[in-house]
Structure 1
């Protein structure tokens, strides 16, 4: 495929102003409820964990996803074919045409094309679905004994999830938001760290390099000087957006436009990230 030059004006246009975001938070902190801060007419939730109870009054649409194969088909429908893919591989033009024929007449393709914001809830459950898929593939069994090979399954899991995430990242004009569980880990020396909860290590390691923004959502209170401090028993929610933060939470701000913490409003956050300089 021939390459093309993207001018500065094109790069700053609203059509090209898309962002990929990964948001992690402990269970119950209200990650799914962030949907309420996004425009319902322009947002679709890919619901992998049947977890829409907290946003049942949100007026936007959602698509339940029960298997990794269904998620992969939706991804190629959203992002279109990958011109570099093998003709017989997933995400190829052949795969894209096959999925289009599956959904022909359902209105799903047209609906997804009209949605500029894709909210994936959650990437934690996505990796679980991918693991269930990987365990059934030939790579998950030993060539010599025919017995299950967990290393082969984890290797396939990592490759499949990363490929799906990268394909979504390249979807033209789509802002993609992944949410997932943030896990508190205490080691043998009682040192506490926070890390994304995902099946396999490969996807967790590579995800920060794929998305534009990594954000941790947690509970905070004010200290005696009025500064924000992490407090698991507090009620105030904040988004931690910059790496090297004093809270030890995973974060990355590729835009360079966010404060260390921001209010839990994704609409306002995306506007701040994507603002066009004067």
Structure 2
């Protein structure tokens, strides 16, 4: 058996799916983004039962009601993980059992995009399931152990997200609510609304794109919705663009956004900068240097001043 090297030509010819998270406040229009994608090639992972905003949308949907169903759909969509033991979720045994339950996974081939609405509700279902597991109870007293439940919750959510992230040939979009808070220093901060802290902290490192759907005010005072895509943005919103193809602000159209991400890549030498930014000449610095140059210079050694 030859060493399994994937050549550059093979890697570049692979079909790549986009894995991303779209965050935004309630009512900003996250679910309505379904109107901007191809309905016949999109599977709506409806966890919120909030599809009133897309009434009349002609795409297919699934409606998990339990965490076990979320795990089953994840392994059905993403396939088995060969690194796991048979008794673990997302293993070959789990995949075989789900295929026997749901049928041939070839039925998913027609979908290019899976739209999961929302990761906020997925976290709630996961926590509810975790509270009933042995890890959520103290071995000594048998009483509920909140720390154990949240520890298991973090492990379960990260495993679920990571498994879907490895679905190479499909676009996977997680939609979630973005909370706005004020920290101890009276600064405005933003964080995904997900039970527990582990998932919110590790989510940006798992997915390729972190996008905030926000309301922006233009210079003339008009307000409009937009995608914020870069980590360094003037609004402080959580964002990340691993593709290197997006501008800081893009129109809130998910279909055209994916087309742009899948478009021709700009050479690394043109889109990456390794130089240190030039210092900015400010008026204060200029005045300070000018004032210093006007001061008389005393070249005598400090120890000899009194002797002169």
Q: What TM-score do you get using the length of structure 1 for normalisation?
A: 0.91
The structure with more radius of gyration: 2
Following TM superposition, the consecutive aligned residue runs of length 4 or more in structure 1 with deviations greater than 4 angstroms are none
CA distance, structure 1, for counterparts of residue 15 and residue 5 of structure 2? 14
1:238 counterpart residue number: 226
Q: Secondary structure at the match of 1:12?
A: helix
CA distance, structure 1, for counterparts of residue 93 and residue 15 of structure 2? 26
CA deviation map 1:209-255 (0-9, x unaligned):
0000000011112124xxxx8x9xx4x21000000111000000111
Deviation (angstroms), 1:35: 0.8
2:277 counterpart residue number: none
CA distance, structure 2, for counterparts of residue 28 and residue 8 of structure 1? 44
2:278 counterpart residue number: none
CA distance, structure 2, for counterparts of residue 101 and residue 26 of structure 1? 39
Match of 1:153 among 149, 173, 188: 149
Deviation (angstroms), 1:275: 1.4
1:263 counterpart residue number: 251
1:24 counterpart residue number: 23
CA distance, structure 2, for counterparts of residue 241 and residue 277 of structure 1? 17
Q: Which ranges of structure 2 fall in alignment gaps of 5 or more residues?
A: 267-308
* 1:275 maps to 2:271: no
User: Compared with structure 1, are the counterparts of its residues 42 and 33 closer, same or farther at alpha carbon in structure 2 (3 Å cutoff)?
Assistant: same
Q: Secondary structure at the match of 1:178?
A: strand
Deviation (angstroms), 1:3: 7.0
CA distance, structure 2, for counterparts of residue 214 and residue 141 of structure 1? 35
Match of 1:252 among 232, 236, 240: 240
Contact 2:245 / 2:265 at 8 angstroms: preserved in 1? no
Q: What TM-score do you get using the length of structure 2 for normalisation?
A: 0.82
Higher RCO by CA contacts (8 Å cutoff, separation 6 or greater): 1
CA deviation map 1:13-67 (0-9, x unaligned):
3x52211010100000000001111111110011011011100121111111111
Match of 1:201 among 194, 197, 203: 197
User: Alpha carbon RMSD of aligned pairs, Å?
Assistant: 1.9
Q: Which ranges of structure 1 fall in alignment gaps of 5 or more residues?
A: none
* 1:133 maps to 2:133: no
Match of 2:169 among 147, 166, 173: 173
Q: Secondary structure at the match of 1:209?
A: helix
Contact 2:177 / 2:193 at 8 angstroms: preserved in 1? yes
2:65 counterpart residue number: 66
The number of residue pairs the alignment matches comes to 266
User: Compared with structure 1, are the counterparts of its residues 3 and 182 closer, same or farther at alpha carbon in structure 2 (3 Å cutoff)?
Assistant: farther
1:116 counterpart residue number: 112
